[in-house]
Amino acid sequence: MGESTNSFRALVRDALMLDSLDGPAEVSRARERGSVGRLVASGSVSLTGLALLVPHLIHLADGGPILGVVLATVGSLVSLGLLFVGVVLARSGFSTTNVVRISVWNLLGVVVLGSVMVANLLYQGQLGTELREPMFTIANLLALGAAAHVIIGFYDARRVRAEQLAKERQKIAVLNRVIRHNLRNSATVLQGHGDILAESVTDESLVRSAEVISQHAATIGSLAENAKRVIQVYERGPSDVRPRNVTAAVEEVADETANSFPEASVTVTVDDDVTGECRADADSGLSLALSELVENAVEHNDSETPSVDISLDADDEWVTLGVHDDGPGIPVHEKTLITGENELTQLQHGNGLGLWVVKAVADVSGGVLGFEEPEHGGSTVMLRLRRSHSTAQ
pLDDT tens string 264-282:
899 999 887 777 788 999 9
For residue 179, the model assigns a pLDDT of: 61
Q: Is 174 a residue whose pLDDT tops 60?
A: no
Domain boundary at 111, 143, 171, which? 171
Q: Are 306 and 325 in contact (CB under 8 A)?
A: yes
Domain presence at residue 296 = yes
152 plus 300 within the same structural domain: no
Q: Which residues pair with 312 in a beta bridge?
A: 270, 321
CA nearest to 310, candidates 327, 294, 296 = 294
Q: Regarding predicted confidence, which is higher, 279 or 96?
A: 279
Domain boundary at 146, 171, 196, which? 171
113 plus 258 within the same structural domain: no
Looking at mean pLDDT, say which of 150-154, 174-178, 307-311, 354-358 comes out highest. 307-311
Q: Is 145 exposed, middle or buried (0-12, 13-18, 19+ CB in 10 A)?
A: buried
Domain that holds residue 337: 241-386
Q: Which residues pair with 273 in a beta bridge?
A: none
Q: Is 351 a residue whose pLDDT tops 60?
A: no
15 plus 134 within the same structural domain: yes
9 plus 118 within the same structural domain: yes
Q: Which residues pair with 386 in a beta bridge?
A: 318
Domain presence at residue 320 = yes
Greatest Cα pair distance in the chain: 111
User: pLDDT averaged over the chain?
Assistant: 77
The helix (H) or strand (E) run that includes residue 18 is none
**Does the predicted model carry a pTM greater than 0.85?**
no
Domain count, the chain: 2
Query: What percent of the chain has pLDDT above 70?
Result: 79
Domain presence at residue 22 = yes
Q: Is 24 a residue whose pLDDT tops 50?
A: no
Q: Are 139 and 55 in contact (CB under 8 A)?
A: yes
Domain boundary at 120, 148, 171, which? 171
Domain presence at residue 36 = yes
Domain presence at residue 55 = yes
Q: Is 365 a residue whose pLDDT tops 70?
A: yes
300 plus 155 within the same structural domain: no
Q: Are 362 and 369 in contact (CB under 8 A)?
A: yes
For residue 21, the model assigns a pLDDT of: 37
For residue 81, the model assigns a pLDDT of: 87
Mean pLDDT, rounded, for 292-310: 87
23 plus 158 within the same structural domain: yes
For residue 151, the model assigns a pLDDT of: 85
For residue 371, the model assigns a pLDDT of: 85
Q: Which residues pair with 379 in a beta bridge?
A: 325
Q: 162-181 burial string, b = 16+ CB within 10 Å, else e?
A: eeeeeeeeeeeeeeeeeebe
Domain presence at residue 9 = yes
Alpha-helix runs per DSSP H in the chain? 2-16, 24-32, 35-62, 66-91, 96-126, 134-200, 204-236, 246-260, 286-299, 332-339, 354-365
Question: Which residue type, as a one-letter code, is found at position 329?
Answer: G
The Cα 321–Cα 334 span in angstroms is 20
Domain presence at residue 204 = no
**Per-residue confidence at 359, pLDDT binned at 50, 70, 90?**
confident
Collapsing DSSP to helix, strand or coil, 211 comes out as helix
Looking at mean pLDDT, say which of 1-5, 41-45, 354-358 comes out highest. 41-45
Termini Cα distance of the chain: 43
250 plus 381 within the same structural domain: yes
257 plus 339 within the same structural domain: yes
Domain presence at residue 330 = yes
For residue 249, the model assigns a pLDDT of: 92
Query: What percent of the chain has pLDDT above 90?
Result: 10
Give the CA radius of gyration of the chain.
30
**Per-residue confidence at 181, pLDDT binned at 50, 70, 90?**
low
The Cα 226–Cα 356 span in angstroms is 8
Per residue in 214-236, pLDDT (tens digit) is 777 776 777 777 777 777 788 88
| CATH code, domain with 348 | 3.30.565.10
